[in-house]
Amino acid sequence: MVFGLSVSMAMLSMGGEAHLNPAVTIAMTLTLRLRPWRAILYVMAQLSGSLAAAALVLGLTGDISPTVNQLAPGVQVYQAVLLETLVTFQLVLVVLATTHLMSSHPSLSVLASLFVGLAVSLGHLQAVRSTGCGMNPARSFGPAVVTFNYHTLWVFWAGPCAGACLAVLLNDLLLRPRWGCLGDWWAELKEFFPSEQLDTHSYTP
């Protein structure tokens, strides 16, 4: 619960639009709410922040192993990937819903931040005993790098990224449709780049 509240406070302190999670940043990029170059900078900042935080905890405590996301005994890799996918799916879906809410009612940013924090708490209540609940690839990245424990790090990237993509598909194609077909999405994507950088002849809607 404290983890969820800390995310809510971080969002509020940054105006309700904090990018703390690469999975969320990927979702915002796929939905064309965020330009790719800015997304790359966000992810770089997220990973740098994770490394700095992990190094700080290691320096203060001398032991960071409890913060490393790992599979609990008896949990298979496919189960861990599926669980990470599901908890991140619900988080990103809530983020997309609250983004839609704030675009219509900016005054509700406090409520939106609390909803996102609750989604983070819910994910941890469900997954913390099985995987430590990565949900955020950056959160898993720092401790893994500092401890040189990369064995299952890919799980905490694959699951959250898959969950983010599924949330985008459900939200923007079914719950709050923004495009009638893939061609509409592609046409809007092309506006992000100079025309000569996209080979429109090789694309078939």
Q: What is the CATH number of the domain that holds 80?
A: 1.20.1080.10
On whether residue 37 sits in a domain, the answer given is yes
According to the model, what pLDDT value does residue 22 have?
A: 95
According to the model, what pLDDT value does residue 198 have?
A: 46
On whether residue 114 sits in a domain, the answer given is yes
On whether residue 47 sits in a domain, the answer given is yes
Q: In angstroms, what is the C-alpha Rg of the chain?
A: 18
Which residue is it, tokens 């893994």? Answer: 144
On whether residue 200 sits in a domain, the answer given is no
On whether residue 198 sits in a domain, the answer given is no
Domain count, the chain: 1
CB of 109 closer than 8 Å to CB of 102: yes
Interval 105-134 mean pLDDT: 86
On whether residue 168 sits in a domain, the answer given is yes
Per residue in 61-109, pLDDT tens?
A: 988 888 899 999 999 999 999 999 999 999 999 999 888 766 666 666 7
Its domain, for residue 103, covers 2-191
According to the model, what pLDDT value does residue 201 have?
A: 42
On whether residue 199 sits in a domain, the answer given is no
Interval 140-162 mean pLDDT: 94
On whether residue 203 sits in a domain, the answer given is no
Q: What is the pTM of this model?
A: 0.85
Q: Give residue 204's pLDDT band: very low, low, confident or very high (50, 70, 90).
A: very low
